[in-house]
Each structure stands twice: as structure tokens, then as C-alpha cells.
Structure 1
Amino acid sequence: MKDKVITFAAGPTKVPTEVKETIRKEMLDFNGTGLSILETMHRSKPFVKLLETCEKNVRQVLSVPENYKILFLQGGATAQFAAVAMNLFGGTSKTADYLITGMWSVKALQEARKYGECREVCPLVPDFKDIPPESTYELNPEAAYLFYCDNETISGVEFSHPPTPPEGVPLVCDMSSNILSKPVDVSKYGVIFAGTQKNFGCSGCTVVIVREDLLDRALAYTPGVLNYAQQAKAGSIYNTPPTFT
């Protein structure tokens, strides 16, 4: 059976047979609506219910505290490299700290520097073969946030535990490639984001978990589709979401 093919691709992830069977069954008639999910209006009750179920499941599986919003956005994790900066540089601090441990944190840094000052706060390891010890970090207690990528897939290094930011500095993490693979204490983070194609399922969506007290720190020119506060208020339907993701 082709379903037994093993893939070592970086993504999309393998989808359980039971899920694919359900998709095939409901492709022509989604939940008895007479419409395919491909045809279902994104503001209709059936789709809103589906979105609410997804949020509930993510909150339950990851034990997300009630003071966090769960958003389903577009643009992949790459869009979040800019979104994080735009959503957090509007507060009192215009400086952010970045732990550079591989290609993805480098890309995040390059994007964020378009919107504010970003500091590399740990020694660079040749070829990113290891993660520097936390004792070498030079962190700014006034930073808008501390960013790191939990699992650098290109260089093959993963944090064994989250770094500890100075008190009051939100910790921001790209968990695209290892979310759902281990327990996570969400309460230690200000923002967590992950592209869905790695461990959640199909590509086309990004899960963003953001602490509610950070929703008022966006730069004035942050686009609505990337604005955490506006998307939270709209229930992740500020714009048309990918209904079949």
C-alpha cells in the first residue's frame, strides 16, 4: 500500500489514514451541509464551529492557559518573522534580543531589523553545530522581547530547555518543527508560532499563541492580517482563512 510509504521530508507531515478517510468522506458533503468544505463560506456557522473546535483542541493538547489567544493566520512561519516585530515594537522598547543558532533565527533577525533595532546576544558557533551555553548570553533587561528558534532543522540543533529572559521581557519562539513533540510550558512564553505543515497537518496556516497582555504593543502601521489584536478580535477571520487546511 502506498500509505505505508515513509517520508523524511521536512514537510508536509504524514497525515493519519483515519484523517484522510474522513476528508474523502466529507469532501462532497461537509457535516451534512450539502456543500464541500472547499465551498463552505468562511463566516458560516459550520466553518466557525470547525475553527472553534480547532482552537479548543490546540488549547487542550498544549495546555494553553486562558490568558492566551490562539490564532490561525496565513503567510507561514516566515510571515511571523515580521509579524512578531511589528506586534511587539509598538510598546515602550524598540530593541529586541535574538539568539542566533541557525538559518531560521538568522532569517527572523534579518526580517525584524526592518522594524526596529535587533541585537545578536549569544556567541556564534561555527556552522551552527551547537547552542552556546546560557551563561554566555548578553541579554537586555529593557528589550521588547527575546527571540529564539527551538529547533534549527538545517543545522540540526535543538534547545534542551527554553532560555530564561530577564524579568518582564516576553519570550518569543518559532516552534514550527517540533511543536507537539514534547510537553511545553506555554506560560513561560509571550508568543509561540508554528507553521501547520510540520506537525499539525497540511500547509497553508500558521498557529500563533500570544499572551493577552501583549496585544496592545503593535506598531501603528502593522497590517491587519498580521495584527494579533485585530485577528484575535475577529476570531482569526479578519480576512478569508484557508478553509481547507
Structure 2
Amino acid sequence: MKKHNFNAGPSILPRETVENTAKAILDLNNSGLSLMEISHRSKDFQAVMDEAEALFKELLHIPEGYSVLFLGGGASLEFCMVPYNFFEKKVAYLNTGTWANKAEKEAKGLAFGEVVEVASSKVDNYTYIPKGYSVPSDVDYFHITTNNTIYGTELHADPDVNVPMVADMSSDIFSRPIDISKYICIFGGAQKNLAPAGVTFVIVKNDALGKVSHYIPTMLDYHTHIEKGSMFNTPPVVPIYGALMTLRWLKAQGGVDEMQRRAKERADMLYSAIDGSRLFRGTVTCEADRSYMNICFVMKDEYKELESEFVTFATEHGMVGVKGHRSVGGFRASCYNALPKESVQALIDCMKEFENKH
């Protein structure tokens, strides 16, 4: 039976990424050595790092004056690294979900200055993205999480504010065009739209660094990694190679614009099926905020008792990872860049077959 991978992360990758990385793990460039055992300072791996950085800049149209880093620690470490590098007196956060809330908590814990929460949808279980908020003009940065994997909301455009922005784009990077010039830092764990788990990408504006008065631990200082080309310590070589394979795939498929078209097409198909269903309903209360990446839905109240039965039914029909996050329940179909439209159609067919049973 064909499997349809809706896992939220680690998640589906292009088949070329999986196959080519597997080959390199056995033998990189006919070197007789595995990707897992070569020196990260070898010519073979330096070429991997250089091409990955170049493709990042090309695909996202990153302007001059920005560095691209490949680090360890996941996006969760960036919740700490960002304030260490940019927080001098006052910062602002938009609280739109679990990961935004965690990022804000880290900034408050460091106590470098004032942390302003400009708006939050927490009281309504993060079922929408707040509107009509104002960002203080004197903040060092305004932090946003562009896609909320657990609750299924997404910012589909860069906010229009007059302060430097920082964004966690772990789960929607390369799914839409970005105006990089609005940001001093963009980061994300790569295990959703880019690579196997283990590498974190960071896009940082060079001249925004060096403006804080507090001490920055060496490993948390972006300067450390810029100066050493992401090789101050041994980088996660296998995930970086996987990222390069995905970046090549993205370019060959038509780049970010094509990924955006596909994302909207997949999301429109599935949301239409949910909205037209007798059993299911979406969880996001503002349709404009619905995520293209993580489509969250539940059984209507009168059919709640069927939720576990549907998870079993979907799994038996080849749907993988459709159970919602343990903190919210329900269902979640993660539709990242590598997911084919055919998988979405298979899920829709599965939902309709289940509905016909009941």
C-alpha cells in the first residue's frame, strides 16, 4: 500500500533528497568514504556548504549584506540566540502559538530589558492571528512566528511594520516569497521543509550585529559562526547535505513561486473538502489565517466519538501522521513543499469514504 506522509516534522522530503543522501552516506563523490565519516574541512564537504549557501541566497533573493548559517540546536536554541545577539533595551513579540510563546519566554528569562507582547490569541486557543496591534517604534526587533504548526495558522505575507523584524520560519520556509530586507534575522529548524532533522538555518543581517552591550557566549554569537563559515565546530554534515539536495530540487521545480502555487492548490483542495463535509470542520476561526502548511481539523461536536476511529481508518488506508498534536487533539495534515497533490487527494477520498460509512 502506498503511504502518504502528512507528518509534521521530521516530515516528507523530495525523493531525490532521500535517495541522493542515502548514496552519499554510502560513498560521497566516489571518494570511497561515507558522508558520515569524511572531514568537514575536506574539499568535498566545503563544496557542499558553499553550494547550499549560494542556493539559499539565489532562491530567496537574499540581498547583499546577509549571511546564511547552518547550525545545530534547532529553532529552540535560536529563541535564546536571537535575544543574545539583538536585544539591548526593548523587544516585541507577537504570540500566535506554542513556539511563539516559547520564544517570548526565553527573551523574558534573559532579562536584558523590556519584553512587550504586542498581541496574543492564546485566550482563544490560538485559533487566529491577532490583527490591529501596534509595535512600539523603539524596539530592537519585533519577533514573529510565520506558521504555527500545532494550531494551523499562518502569516501569508510579511507584516508591514517600521522596525527590524525577526522571524521563525521553521515550517514555511521556501513556500512563499519573502522580502528579506524587512528582517534582521530569519531562522528555522530544517526538518519540515528542507532537510533531515539536525540542522538549523539562520539568515542574519551582518550590520545588525555587534550592537548589544552584554556578553554573548561564544557559541551563541552569530559573529562566531559567520567568521568561520558555519564551521567553528563540526557542523551537522548529513542534514546539510540533505538540505543541498532539497535546494537543488526546489530550483529544478521552479523555485519559491512554484512552491507557493502548489501550496495554495493543495490547501484549497483540502479546506474545500473539510468545509463541505458533514463530519469534519476546520479549527481556525479566521479563514484568511488558515495555514497552507499545517491543515488542522476536528470532528464536528456531534461526531466527536468518531475521532479515534477515523485515525485508525486513515492509517489503514495509508495516511501517515494525520493525528493532531497531543496538546490539541483532532487531526493535522502537514502539506509541506515535497508533498504531492495526489496525497492530498488520497486523504480527501479517505475522508469521504469514512463519511459514507457513517
TM-score above 0.5: yes
Query: Residue type matched to 1:161 in 2?
Result: A
1:176 aligned residue (157, 170, 177): 170
Distance 1:197 1:218 in 2: 31
Determine if contact 2:21/2:238 at 8 Å carries over to the other structure: no
Contact 1:176 1:195 in 2 (8 A): yes
The residue aligned with 1:53 is 51
What's the counterpart of residue 229 of structure 2?
235
Looking at structure 1, the residues matched to 55 and 4 of structure 2 have their Cα atoms a distance apart, in angstroms, of 27
CA deviation string 1:91-133 (max 9, x = no partner): xx41100011111110000011122221101254511111121
Match of 2:136 in 1: 140
Deviation at 1:218, TM superposition (A): 4.8
Q: How many angstroms apart in 2 are the aligned matches of 1:112 and 1:11? A: 25
Give the Å deviation of 1:60: 1.1
Structure 2 residue aligned with 1:131: 129
Quote the Cα distance in structure 2 between the aligned partners of 1:24 and 1:81: 32
Unaligned runs of 5+ in 2: 240-358
Query: In the alignment, what sits opposite 1:197?
Result: 191
Matched, 1:69 2:67: yes
Give the structure-1-normalised TM-score: 0.90
Pair 1:40 & 2:35 matched? no
Q: Which residue of 2 aligns with 1:155?
A: 151
State which of 100, 104, 114 in structure 1 corresponds to 2:109: 114
Q: Taking structure 1 as reference, are residues 87 and 22 closer, same or farther at Cα in structure 2, changes over 3 Å only?
A: same
- Comparing 124-133 with 213-222, which one deviates more in the overlay? 213-222
Q: Structure 1, unaligned stretches of length 5 or more?
A: none
Give the conservation status (yes or no) of the 8 Å contact 2:60–2:177.
yes
Q: Give the count of matched residue pairs.
A: 236
18-27 or 44-53, larger mean C-alpha shift: 18-27
Counterpart in the other structure of 2:205: 211
What amino acid is aligned across from residue 122 of structure 1 in structure 2? A
Aligned to 2:335: none
1:22, distance to aligned residue in structure 2 (A)? 1.9
**RMSD value, Cα:** 1.6
In 2, the alpha carbon distance for the partners of 1:123 and 1:242 equals 35
CA distance in 1, matches of 2:167, 2:81: 13
Whole-angstrom distance in 2 between the partners of 1:24 and 1:191 = 32
Please give the secondary structure, in 1, of the residue aligned with 2:210. coil
| Amino acid across the alignment from 1:95 | K
Deviation at 1:143, TM superposition (A): 0.7
Match of 1:96 in 2: 91
Separation of aligned partners in 1, 2:120 and 2:57: 35
Contact 2:141 2:165 in 1 (8 A): yes
Greater shift in the superposed pair: 27-36 or 73-82: 27-36
Paired with 1:154 and 1:20, the residues of 2 have a C-alpha distance of 26
Alignment check: 8 A CA contact 2:93 2:143 kept: yes
Alpha-carbon deviation of 1:161? 2.0
Worse-superposed segment, 153-162 or 62-71: 153-162
Cα 1:212–1:8, aligned 2, differ >3 Å: closer, same or farther?
A: same
Q: Which has the higher helix share?
A: 2
Moved over 4 A (4+): none
Rounded Cα–Cα distance in structure 2 between residues aligned with 1:27 and 1:108 = 35
> Amino acid of the residue matched to residue 171 of structure 2?
S
| Matched-pair contact (CA < 8 Å) for 1:88–1:217 | yes
The aligned amino acid for 2:138 is E
The corresponding residue for 2:290 is none
C-alpha distance in 2 between matches for 1:218 and 1:206: 23
Larger Rg: 2
In 2, are the aligned partners of 1:14 and 1:201 still within 8 Å (CA)? no
Q: CA deviation at 1:26?
A: 2.6
- The structural deviation recorded for 1:34 is 2.0
- Once the two structures are TM-superposed, the CA of residue 28 in structure 1 deviates from its matched residue by 2.7
Q: Tell me the CA shift for residue 220 of structure 1.
A: 4.2
Is the 1:76–1:205 Cα contact (8 Å) retained in structure 2? Answer: yes
